[in-house]
């Protein structure tokens, strides 16, 4: 079964809007596990506008499901004397997802150019794998980029699914085509496959039907928004149903 990893950044965004500890990000991570999520994802950015480096550290001993930390390996915290690589190596999560975020972006908006960044990614992948951490590279649905990602030694790639989600209503068959092709290339290259960005209750079932071998989906914004109406327990159940 494809694993559901809940990205809890938006919960931290709400907390940070007022200060204090409401909602409690750490308890929320535990509740997601209790309600059936198979993973927790966080994406700490240097400005710590949502998940803070301290949150990322505190979550690890509280959960038993897979922990996935996303981010740009070049990121440096503005509140702590170390960067993203140091944070991940200290925590040693099940998985690190490398995302080429530029500083100040609202949300992730592109995958890696694995041709231009081949040597750099090889070094980063090697460093994390030496610590026993599975590595995934965030990438567009581009066969060439996936082939070159495989050459870095990465364990998986995560398909950036924003274009699928935005084109789904206009024609889901056309929207899914490049992702099916990309997923087949990843499979042929012998690497695992994750997916994420704007996947929702509306479009997730079809995505999974067409690419049933995806290992994991990471979902945050839509899932947390659905939880405002449905509650987090019911929402996680519904997302898991999409993946059966």
| Catalytic site residue from 70, 158, 208, 216 | 70
Catalytic-residue membership of 208: no
DSSP annotation string for the chain: --EEEEE-HHHHHHHHHH-TTSS-HHHHHHHHHHTT-SEEEE---TT-SSS-HHHHHHHGGG--SEEEEEE-TT-B-SSSSSBHHHHHHHH--SEEEE--PPTT-SS------TTTTHHHHHHHHHHHHTTT-EEEEEE-S-HHHHHHHHTTT-SEEEEE-HHHHHHTTT-HHHHHHHHHHHHHHHHHTT-EEEEESS--TTTHHHHHHH-TT--EEEE-HHHHHHHHHH-HHHHHHHHHHHT-
33: annotated active-site residue: no
Which residue in 43, 50, 66, 208 is the catalytic one?
A: 43
CB 136 within 8 A of CB 98: yes
Catalytic residue among 33, 48, 158, 197: 197
**Active site annotation includes 70:** yes
Report the catalytic residues.
Answer: 43, 70, 197
């Amino acid at each position: 079964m494809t694993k559901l990893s809940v990205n809890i950044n938006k919960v931290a965004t709400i907390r940070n809007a007022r200060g204090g500890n409401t909602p409690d990000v750490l308890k929320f991570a535990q509740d997601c596990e209790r309600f059936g999520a198979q993973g927790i994802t966080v994406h700490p950015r240097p400005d710590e506008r949502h998940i803070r480096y301290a949150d990322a550290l505190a979550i690890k001993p509280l959960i038993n499901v897979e922990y996935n930390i996303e981010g740009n390996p070049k990121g440096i915290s503005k509140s702590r004397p170390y960067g993203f690589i140091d944070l991940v190596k200290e925590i040693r999560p099940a998985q690190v997802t490398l995302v080429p975020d530029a500083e100040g972006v609202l949300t992730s908006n592109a995958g890696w150019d694995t041709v231009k960044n081949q040597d750099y990614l090889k070094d980063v992948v090697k460093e994390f794998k030496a610590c026993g951490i599975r590595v995934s590279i965030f990438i567009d649905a581009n066969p060439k980029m996936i082939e070159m990602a495989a050459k870095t030694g990465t364990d998986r790639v995560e398909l950036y699914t924003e274009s699928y989600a935005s084109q789904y209503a206009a024609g889901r068959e056309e929207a899914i085509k490049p992702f099916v092709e990309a997923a087949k290339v990843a499979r042929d290259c012998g690497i695992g496959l994750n997916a994420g960005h704007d996947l929702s209750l509306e479009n997730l079932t079809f995505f999974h039907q067409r690419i049933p071998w995806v290992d994991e989906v990471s979902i945050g914004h839509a899932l947390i928004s659905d939880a405002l109406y449905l509650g987090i327990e019911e929402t996680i159940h519904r997302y898991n149903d999409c993946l059966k």
